[in-house]
């Protein structure tokens, strides 16, 4: 098999499974639907691993070429093309491996759902869309994959489409991403207009140095750097997809979708698209310190302030969701520090431990009969030992525990920010270091409330839950599954749920230790990610100080982040295991702050007031004044009324009597005679 055929098979295998399950699932049944979709993703994952191993051992060559030409117009040719290099190879393995685990897990999680075949079709289509995005070699295909993951996420977040909250959540995600995608499209437009008329990455990157000092006039009389404007517009697209402040508001609400898709969106697909795109565009971003500062500030705000929101959440899935927001902020900060390799390294490690945490949360939800409120849990360790152990490993990876995968990527981000010379680096360093304590605190608050302490389900069984079913009738018939009854006990999930947890726990612990040398400080991304070491020497400085994963681990015991992480765990343990009256007292004493966090900084209300209500007000004005008053009232109905009025006047002269017409004729003749002869008489 030649390489082009291999790459086509990687991309199209999940699509084939999606089409079969989606169009013929009703005929082939539930079992065949999950078999065909899992087989498609498994083939893609196996071939992706083969490609990655080729790049790791040096036997693989970069592939960059068209696969299919779909449009030729005005001298421009647009093709479906693949760029498969080390960056693509890593993303292929991350996307397909996590997707495969989610597919297997879905068999157990969605077994009672009437939309079983439809769900498998959607998640396979989601995988295909992400593969097309990461394999693209041009902006047109990138935008296709970009919009495709957005479309499928809309379908998946609103999978239970008869629940108003799910419909609201997927519409919110769709609209917020339209804002980001509008900026992204404008950035692509500038590339097309100024970079030689080509949208192929290689052509654009080759043309960029010539345009380093090119300016454009956006506001009359104001000159702006072309590359700065282009990069910021492209990053606005990343802010939407990767949920960076202030376009982050859709991500927590995406929890309305079933847990498997929460794991797939948050871990390996949609939200990592923006991080991947900026890393791919590193040759452009390296030419604009302004753009890098914007990236760093957005990531810093997201990393710290979204972490604060995780502290006050009681829904187990929402805690993990805000954790995703915070970790995406860390990745974005790394991009701003020109540590693109570190950002992608964290994308990889985070994909494994975040998928693990989401799927473990789903396992807890199953064991609790679809109760998601952590206040109704406690002491689950002895009832769900596999879920407990894998959750603990995922949490330790998340907070950056030495020897765990998250430690190597997260600490590398902090070190890269410390070494950055950008003006925003000071604030960014404070945000990522403070975020270490916050992350450890909310992560182990969740861990202790769920798995340790008093068994609280007997006190408040069934108050919060995740509806399982996509119809009102289904929800009613499953009411007895929503929360534990008085005689129920939690139970461990079936093997199709726990097996993916075990398999994801392995890379969550090990992959960071074995991969950091090659991916961050080696030559794995050489020639793929571009860094201007003269202007941004941070990573070059870190490379001189790096002496291996083991040495990095030993050094961490003398650094602030590790002790902040330990402090976060200890405080969470003391607050929620030993002295639960303390957080209750803090909540009471700091009620305004708690209310601010509980209402997510009121951003939803602000956006609704400014944009939703504002848009409705503008629309109402144009409807009432423009449409009803001017167009209907004046132009359309006004013309009709004018004609009617004139007709009514003329109608009065049409009496039907001869003497009336004779009189009118005499008056007309007299008038003509007067008009003709009066000037002669006066002369």
Which residues make beta-bridge pairs with 412?
none
- Rounded Cα–Cα distance for residues 626 and 261 (Å): 44
Is-contact 468 362, C-beta < 8 A? no
| Cα Rg of the chain, angstroms | 31
Of residues 408, 588, 574, 367, the one with CA closest to residue 490:
367
Q: Identify the burial level of 257 via C-beta atoms within 10 angstroms of its C-beta, where 0-12 means exposed, 13-18 middle and 19 or more buried.
A: buried
For residue 679, give Cα distances in angstroms to 668, 670, 675, 683: 18, 15, 8, 6
User: Is the bond preceding 246 in cis, omega lying within 30 degrees of 0?
Assistant: yes
Q: Assign 328 to helix, strand or coil.
A: helix
pLDDT tens digits, one per residue of 89-112: 999 999 999 999 999 999 988 888
pLDDT given for residue 477 in this prediction: 30
Max Cα–Cα distance, the chain, nearest Å: 123
Buried/exposed code over 571-581 (b: 16+ C-beta within 10 A; e: otherwise): bbbebbeeeee
CB-CB contact of 417 with 432 (8 Å): yes
Angle, vertex CA 348, rays to CA 347 and CA 352, nearest 5 = 110
**Distance (Å, rounded) from C-alpha 175 to C-alpha 306?**
21
Helix (H, G, I), strand (E, B) or coil at 224: strand
**Cα–Cα distance for residue pair 468/482, rounded to 1 Å:** 9
* Distance between first and last Cα of the chain: 109
pLDDT of residue 485: 60
How much is the pLDDT for 183? 93
**Dihedral in degrees, nearest 10, Cα atoms 162, 164, 168, 171:** 20
- Phi/psi of residue 77, each to 5°? -125, 125
Adjacent-strand bridge partners of 216: 224
Q: Among 250, 268, 247, 257, which Cα is nearest to 182's?
A: 247
DSSP secondary structure letters along 371-382: --BGGG---GGG
Residue 216 buriedness (CB in 10 A; 0-12 / 13-18 / 19+): middle
What distance in Å separates the CA atoms of residue 275 and residue 256, rounded to the nearest whole number? Answer: 24
Cα distance between residue 245 and residue 180, in whole Å = 11
Residue 683 has a pLDDT of: 66
* Cα(86)–Cα(519) distance, integer angstroms: 10
pLDDT for residue 392: 95
CA distance 546 to 549: 8
Contact 291, 231 (CB under 8 A): yes
Measured at the CA of 83, the angle between CA 100 and CA 329, to 5 degrees, comes to 60
> CA-to-CA distance for 367 and 373, rounded, in angstroms?
13
Q: What is the pLDDT of residues 303-319, one digit of tens each?
A: 999 999 999 988 898 99
DSSP 8-state class, residue 136:
B
Q: Which residues of the chain have pLDDT under 70?
A: 1, 74-75, 458-488, 683
Three-state DSSP state, 396: helix
**CA-to-CA distance for 265 and 149, rounded, in angstroms?**
9
């Amino acid at each position: 098999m030649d390489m082009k055929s291999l790459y086509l098979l990687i991309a199209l295998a999940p699509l084939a499974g999606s089409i079969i399950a989606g169009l013929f699932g009703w005929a082939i049944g539930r079992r065949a639907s999950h078999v065909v979709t899992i087989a498609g993703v498994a083939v893609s994952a196996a071939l992706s691993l083969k490609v990655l191993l080729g790049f790791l051992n040096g036997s693989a060559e970069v592939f960059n070429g068209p696969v299919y030409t779909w449009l030729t117009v005005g001298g421009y040719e647009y093709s479906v093309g693949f760029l498969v290099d080390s960056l693509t190879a890593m993303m292929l393995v991350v996307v397909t491996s996590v997707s495969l685990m989610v597919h297997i897990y879905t068999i157990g999680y969605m077994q009672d759902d009437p939309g079983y075949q439809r769900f498998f079709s959607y998640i396979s289509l989601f995988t295909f869309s992400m593969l097309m995005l990461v394999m693209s070699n041009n902006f047109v295909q990138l935008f296709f994959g970009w919009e495709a993951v957005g479309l499928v996420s809309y379908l998946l977040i609103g999978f239970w489409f008869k629940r108003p909250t799910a419909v609201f959540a997927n519409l919110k995600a769709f609209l917020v991403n339209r804002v980001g995608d509008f900026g992204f499209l404008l950035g692509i437009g500038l590339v097309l207009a100024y970079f030689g008329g080509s949208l192929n990455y290689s052509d654009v990157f080759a043309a960029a140095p010539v345009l380093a000092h090119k300016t454009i006039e956006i506001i009359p009389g104001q000159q702006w750097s072309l590359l700065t404007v282009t990069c910021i517009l492209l990053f606005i697209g990343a802010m939407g997809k990767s949920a960076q402040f202030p376009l982050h508001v859709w991500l927590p609400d995406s929890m309305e979708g079933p847990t498997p898709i929460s794991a797939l969106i948050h871990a390996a697909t949609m939200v990592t698209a923006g991080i991947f795109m900026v890393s791919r565009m590193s040759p452009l971003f390296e030419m604009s310190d302004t753009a890098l500062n914007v990236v760093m500030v957005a990531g810093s705000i997201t990393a710290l302030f979204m972490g604060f929101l995780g502290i006050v959440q009681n829904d187990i899935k929402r805690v993990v969701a805000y954790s995703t927001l915070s970790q995406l902020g860390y990745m974005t900060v790394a991009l701003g520090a020109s540590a693109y390799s570190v950002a992608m390294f964290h994308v990889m490690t985070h994909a494994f431990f975040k998928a693990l945490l989401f799927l473990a949360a789903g396992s807890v939800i199953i064991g609790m009969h679809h109760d998601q409120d952590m206040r109704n849990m406690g002491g689950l360790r002895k009832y769900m030992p596999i879920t407990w152990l894998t959750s603990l490993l995922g949490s330790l990876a998340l907070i950056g525990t030495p020897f765990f995968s998250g430690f190597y990527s997260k600490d590398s981000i902090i070190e890269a920010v410390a070494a950055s010379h950008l003006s925003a680096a000071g604030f960014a360093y404070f945000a990522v270091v403070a975020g270490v304590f916050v992350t450890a605190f909310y992560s182990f608050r969740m861990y202790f409330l769920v798995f340790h302490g008093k068994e609280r389900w007997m006190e408040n069984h069934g108050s919060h839950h995740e509806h399982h079913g996509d119809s009102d009738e289904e929800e009613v018939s499953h009411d007895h599954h929503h929360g534990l009854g008085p005689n129920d006990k939690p139970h461990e999930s079936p093997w199709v749920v726990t097996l993916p947890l075990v398999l994801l726990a392995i890379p969550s612990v090990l992959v960071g230790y074995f991969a950091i040398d090659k991916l961050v400080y080696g030559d794995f991304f050489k020639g793929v990610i571009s860094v201007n070491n003269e202007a941004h020497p941070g990573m070059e400085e870190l490379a001189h100080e790096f002496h291996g994963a083991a040495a990095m681990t030993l050094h961490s015991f003398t650094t602030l982040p590790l002790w902040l992480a330990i402090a976060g765990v200890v405080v969470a343990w003391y607050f929620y295991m030993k002295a639960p009256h303390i957080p209750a007292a803090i909540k009471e004493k700091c009620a305004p702050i708690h209310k601010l966090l509980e209402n997510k900084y009121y951003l939803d209300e602000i956006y609704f007031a400014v944009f939703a209500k504002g848009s409705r007000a503008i629309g109402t004005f144009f409807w009432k004044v423009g449409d009803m008053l001017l167009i209907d009232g004046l132009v359309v109905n006004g013309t009709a009324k004018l004609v009617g009025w004139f007709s009514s006047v003329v109608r009065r002269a049409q009496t039907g009597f001869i003497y009336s017409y004779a009189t009118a004729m005499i008056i007309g003749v007299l008038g003509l005679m007067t008009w003709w002869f009066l000037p002669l008489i006066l002369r």
